[in-house]
Structure 1
Amino acid sequence: MTSKIVTSIIRIIFLGVLFIFLFYPDRFHITFEYPGAPQSDNWHLRVTKSFFWLLLVIEILRIFYYGVVKSKAKGILANIVTIATPLIITLIFLEIIFMYIPQSHEGVLSKASQIWWEKYWNPVNQLGYHDKEVEKTQAGKKQVLVIGDSFAAGHGLKSVTERFSDQLEDKLGKSQYTVYNLGVSGADTRDEAKRLEEFPVKPDVIVLQYFPNDVEKVGREKGLSLSGAAPYGDLKGPMATLVKRFYLPNFIYWQLPHTGFSTFEKFVQTAYTDTTILNAHLRDLSEMVAYKDSTGAKMYAVFIPFLFQLDKSAGYTKPVEDYLRAHGVTVVTLNDGIAKIPEKDRVVGKNDGHGSAVLNGLIADRLFEAMKKN
């Protein structure tokens, strides 16, 4: 029996080498090449880690069987091992289970959100957009370009059919209109104007999806800082490593609140009331308006507010709305409709404040109504 325990210990030592290779590759300058690396584990790497944990379970059970059960060991040490073994195995199996549980999260910060991204963020076309492939020649069909950030791209939605752009295309009729989605997570107005100009299809209609944080990058450029802890900033030492690298503790960590919304709200409020920042932001918007004018496209702007602070959002972004209206852009309002949607139904989930399918349906309806009038 002793020899069997020794061989299991030797195998565990070899598994320890594999553990370092799989879980701490960066410490030894080991890299895995696949889309999303090194921020996330792809499906193959997660399966490999699962087999590692299963092999470890086998060796733990083997040691427990020969060291305690078969030898009929007694005493404090035997009691501790008897209690610890099922606890460790339970935690290992929970770790394996949570390696395959997706949960959308703002910014793809959590490991569960990385699983979600790999599972649901498709299709992705050759231009890198979360959308269908571009067809440059479509005789007789009007071209609609939807530009925006993660709200337009459909972050948190399990299917592109739930997005307002795809729902709008259905309402307009695919035989007469093609709607392309140019939404990119984290995009700002300056980036959006550039992507519109570079897109290979010239639009008949432009739809700008606007969110109050669109002013953020300009605000930072002008010296406005956003205070608050960085992701995982409240963790130190071994706890930080545990939470960052393993799925079960990471999932638990992200179910708890970590950053206050009030900090970002103050940033946005300051940005829209600071004339230097606001004027710089409007100059970026002017590039988009100029592109609209150069193509002769009709332009609509849909303003998505902070979904739990509707009135405040409207106050912050009013100067932008006024600017766009003054330059021939039809502003589509949502706040009255959003107010009728229960708060929990406005967003895709507990840890993700992006718009739900219900909210996207409202946006599609309002855009369709506005386009019918024109």
Structure 2
Amino acid sequence: MFLKLWPHLSYFLSDFSLYLVVNFVLFCLSLFFIYKIFKSKASERKKKLLLSLVFVFFVLVLAFSVFEAYFRYVYDESDGLGYLKVNSKWHQRHVIYNAYFYRDRDFTVEKKEGVKRIGVIGDSIAFGGGIKNVNDRFSNLLEKKLKDSGYKVEVYDLGKPGYDTEGEIAEYQKVKNLDFDIIIWEYFLNDVQPQEKSTGTPIIARNSQTANFVQFFSDKSYFFDFIFWRLSTRYQKTFEQLKTADLAQYEDQNILNHHKLIIADFLKELNLENKKVVVIIFPLLAFLGPDYPAGEIHNQMANFFEDNGAEVIDLLDYLKDKNGRDLWASQFDSHPNEFVHRLAADKLFDKVKPLFR
């Protein structure tokens, strides 16, 4: 039993050593001060006051350490922007890559007779950002639904966080030898961003910067880092700025025409390879509601995909009356939660079934 626990214990002792040492030193100092206070000739009232101060100080440090341990080892929610330190812990716990460096099981080049192979391309949504268990991700749910319905199928997820359309197409080209029969293309409205000149990346980088003293304490403490970002208004402002930057790309005809040309060329290539394509469009969950700012863009891109031979599912049709916050993966992660992934899998199941005939 001890041998099994030792790796965890040794990691804890190494990772939490600063706080263990601080608490031990403060405990010893507290005992020393208590001894000195009792031995002093101060009045009883003054002794009680000094003892109270020592006790309160020690309890505050101990409480901070307990919260620190909680956010290091227990708290388990992701951060969609990657600002919070807890996000790295979330990835360590829940993200495992295969030999192709995708968040999926290992892929096999050889395809068994009678098996249909589906490739899912996309960004962090396809990757399963904020989804702890990959079996709750839409690609995995789709595979299970198809298999439970008697279809011989393999679904390989090629999702890459932070990728736009050009990057997603490049990923497909790397593994096209896997001989997919059907391509599911997860599309998000920031995919229009030019690969080398994204206007969103500088916003995320700029807003992640903090004052030197804040950065110092954030580097040392998960608890401090969490509280800082929890109280900061910069997080929501970043979403607003990203929305503005992303939607502005659709108003720039040069960028939009280039984006559509890339999509059309890729769909043409897939058609020549006799691949069936289903595009699923995810809405901006942070801005769902009666004043949703991108409805026309959804219609425009859905029509464009259809005109170029793809089947299209627009999840805005099913989510527009929902409270967007209820659909977030976590309080700091606007990626779709398990409910949205189940909805996506259900709609994809209905679209994909006829393609097996």
Aligned partner of 1:131 in structure 2 is: 104
Paired residues for 1:77-88 under 5 Å? 78-79=50-51, 80-88=53-61
Answer yes or no: is the 8 Å Cα contact 1:206–1:298 preserved in 2. Answer: yes
Paired residues for 1:88-237 under 5 Å? 88-100=61-73, 101-122=75-96, 124-137=97-110, 138-173=112-147, 176-199=152-175, 200-218=177-195, 220=197, 230-233=206-209, 235-237=210-212
The yes-or-no answer on 1:368 pairing with 2:340 is no
Answer yes or no: is the 8 Å Cα contact 1:102–1:114 preserved in 2. Answer: no
Q: Report the residue type matching 1:354 in the other structure.
A: H
Pick closer, same or farther for the CA change 1:344–1:88 going to 2, 3 Å: same
Tell me, in whole angstroms, the C-alpha distance in 2 between the residues paired with 1:316 and 1:336.
13
Query: Mind listing any 5+ residue stretches in structure 2 that lack a counterpart?
Result: 1-7
The yes-or-no answer on 1:319 pairing with 2:300 is yes
Pick closer, same or farther for the CA change 1:215–1:114 going to 2, 3 Å: same
Secondary structure in 2 aligned to 1:134?
coil
Q: Report the residue type matching 2:185 in the other structure.
A: L
Answer yes or no: is the 8 Å Cα contact 1:226–1:264 preserved in 2. Answer: no
Answer yes or no: is the 8 Å Cα contact 2:189–2:247 preserved in 1. Answer: no
Q: Could you give the per-residue CA deviations for residues 98-154 of structure 1, whole angstroms, max 9, x where no partner exists?
A: 2112221113321111111111113x2100000011022222100100000000111
Aligned partner of 1:35 in structure 2 is: none
Secondary structure in 2 aligned to 1:217?
coil
The yes-or-no answer on 1:263 pairing with 2:229 is no
Q: TM-score, normalised by structure 1?
A: 0.80
Pick closer, same or farther for the CA change 1:327–1:44 going to 2, 3 Å: farther
Secondary structure in 2 aligned to 1:110?
coil
Aligned partner of 1:293 in structure 2 is: 271
Q: Report the residue type matching 2:341 in the other structure.
A: N
Query: Mind listing any 5+ residue stretches in structure 1 that lack a counterpart?
Result: 1-41
Pick closer, same or farther for the CA change 1:252–1:120 going to 2, 3 Å: same
Q: Could you give the per-residue CA deviations for residues 54-90 of structure 1, whole angstroms, max 9, x where no partner exists?
A: 2321221112112323651455894543432222222
Q: TM-score, normalised by structure 2?
A: 0.84
Tell me, in whole angstroms, the C-alpha distance in 2 between the residues paired with 1:154 and 1:44.
31
Instruction: Please provide the CA RMSD for this pair.
Output: 2.7
Tell me, in whole angstroms, the C-alpha distance in 1 between the residues paired with 2:18 and 2:214.
22
Q: Percent identity?
A: 24
**How many Å apart are 1:307 and its aligned residue?**
1.6
